[in-house]
């Protein structure tokens, strides 16, 4: 008899194989090992990678770049379009990022795609950022001029992107960074880094729209998913988050485009995270709007701060205590959120003095806390709250004194 887990694994492998077969049946495959690639975990395969990419990109009808099983060291690469057809990246083996300082510090990427349309990344393989070799260089809490560290996967101006059945571990910084991307679907990804790893956000979204993130597991040292300025029309469903800082809109207020809208988060779970669902804006800030945020069917398991709006976000303590955020937060719905908190701070809505939050709906909230600092608290400040259904604890029974901060200062 096959166990349920075993059956799921067999099903997973079958789907990956079918996916590979379909892609190969339609497009020419460019195997990196046929371009000088060596799967020994030591040889630099960046030229083999870029050569295979150039061949596939320049071929009429596109092609598929294949990393067969094995370990491939790849130094930082930038893969550019525009291509003459759809492009596939089939990772069956393990890609290893370099550990040396020259390839890791003061660099914002490991594998970057720019100006590509119709890109599929899948294959069931692994990207290992080898983050422990660089995390000690992240001193941004002490040094505002700290040097950059690379993301595992970076996408700039990419459209019609599909990422499916890929694992990303131990990125030196962000795992997946989407900037100015359109029509993106991320499914069945597994993202992992230790809880203490700095700024290892799972998926970071900026200036992008029409994004779907589905049926994935994200466990990192920072936000599982972060939605930054210019994000809109985003659907998140079936994501397990933890450890990490939860899912965050923001921080907002320091750039020129501070708008986030139409974010839909459903059927997700948070386990042992520092926050659950959070909106954070700087004070003072430039003007902007967060609107049409819909959150439904969320399970919390020992989350420190399950629901947070913080419009005085200032983890580095370099902000003004007298000036307010100019970000308007409006039309936010939190529906059917249940489970447990590891602190009494179950709901904290701390909004702007000059731009109070408008139409914040809490419906069927059932979050409990059992500990020495009880009872559970729902605290509100400068917010128009609409309540409906069950409210445990009762909504907005206390004023906000202070919102606990997490040290994710780069976002």
Active-site residues, by number, are 245
3-state secondary structure the chain: CCCHHHHHHHHHHHHHHHHHHHHHHHCEEEEHHHHCCCCEEEEECHHHHHHHHHHHHHCCCCEEEEECCCEEECCCEEEECCCCCCEEEEECCEEECCCCHHHCCCCCEEEEEECCEEEEEECCCEEECCHHHCHHHCCCCCCCCCCCCCEEEEEECCEEEEEECCEEECCCCCCEEEECCEEEEEECCEEECCCCCCCCCCEEEECCEEEEEEEEEEECCCCCEEECCCCEEEEEEEEEECCCCCEEEEEECCCCCCCEEEEEEEEEEEECCCEEEEEEEECCCCCEEEEEEEEEEEEEEEECEEEEEEEEECCCCCCCCCCCCCEEEEEEEEEEEEEEECCCEEEEEECCCCCCEEEEEEEEEEEEECCCCCCCEEEEECEEEEEEEEEECCCCCEECCCCCCCCCCCC
- The CA R_g of the chain, rounded to the nearest whole Å, is 22
> What does DSSP say about strands 232-241 and 225-227: parallel, antiparallel, or unpaired?
unpaired
End-to-end CA distance of the chain: 48
Peptide bond into 343 cis (omega under 30): no
Q: Between the CA of residue 201 and those of 147, 216, 222, 236, 354, what are the distances in Å?
A: 17, 14, 5, 15, 31
In 3D, which of 20, 87, 101, 82 has the Cα closest to residue 49? 87
Residues 6+ apart with CB under 8 A from 78: 109, 112, 114
């Amino acid at each position: 008899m096959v166990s349920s887990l075993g059956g799921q694994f067999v099903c997973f492998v079958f789907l990956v194989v079918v996916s590979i077969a379909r892609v190969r049946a339609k497009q020419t495959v460019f195997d990196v090992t046929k371009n000088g690639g060596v799967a020994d975990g030591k040889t630099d395969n960046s030229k083999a990678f870029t050569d295979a990419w150039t061949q596939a990109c320049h071929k009429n009808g596109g092609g598929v770049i294949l990393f067969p099983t094995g370990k491939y060291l790849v130094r930082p690469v930038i893969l550019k379009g525009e291509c003459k057809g759809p492009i596939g990246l089939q990772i069956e083996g393990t890609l290893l990022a370099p550990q040396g300082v020259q390839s890791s510090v003061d660099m914002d990427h490991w594998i970057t795609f720019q100006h590509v349309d119709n890109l599929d990344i899948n294959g069931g393989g692994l990207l290992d950022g080898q983050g422990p070799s660089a995390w000690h260089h992240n001193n941004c809490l002490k040094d505002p001029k700290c040097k950059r560290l690379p993301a595992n996967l970076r996408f700039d101006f990419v459209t019609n992107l599909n990422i499916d059945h890929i694992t990303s571990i131990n990125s030196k910084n962000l795992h997946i960074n989407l900037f100015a991307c359109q029509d993106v679907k991320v499914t069945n990804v597994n993202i992992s880094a230790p809880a203490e790893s700095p700024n290892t956000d799972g998926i970071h979204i900026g200036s992008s729209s029409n994004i779907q993130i589905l049926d994935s597991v994200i466990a990192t040292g920072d936000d599982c998913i972060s939605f930054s300025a210019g994000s809109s029309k985003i659907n998140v469903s079936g994501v397990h988050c933890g450890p990490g800082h939860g899912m965050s809109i923001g921080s907002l207020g320091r750039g020129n485009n501070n708008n986030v809208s139409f974010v839909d988060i459903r059927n997700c779970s948070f386990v042992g995270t520092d926050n659950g669902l959070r909106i954070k804006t700087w004070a003072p800030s430039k003007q902007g709007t967060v609107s049409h945020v819909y959150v439904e069917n969320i399970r919390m398991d020992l989350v420190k701060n399950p629901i947070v709006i913080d419009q005085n976000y200032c983890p580095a303590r370099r902000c003004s205590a007298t000036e307010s955020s100019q970000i308007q937060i409006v039309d936010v719905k939190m529906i059917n959120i249940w489970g447990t908190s590891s602190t009494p701070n179950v709901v904290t809505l701390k909004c702007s003095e000059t731009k109070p939050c408008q139409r914040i709906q809490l419906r069927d909230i059932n979050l409990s806390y059992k500990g020495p600092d009880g009872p559970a608290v729902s605290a509100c400040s400068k917010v128009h709250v609409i309540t409906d259904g069950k409210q445990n604890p009762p909504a907005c029974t206390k004023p906000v004194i202070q919102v606990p901060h997490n040290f994710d200062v780069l976002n």
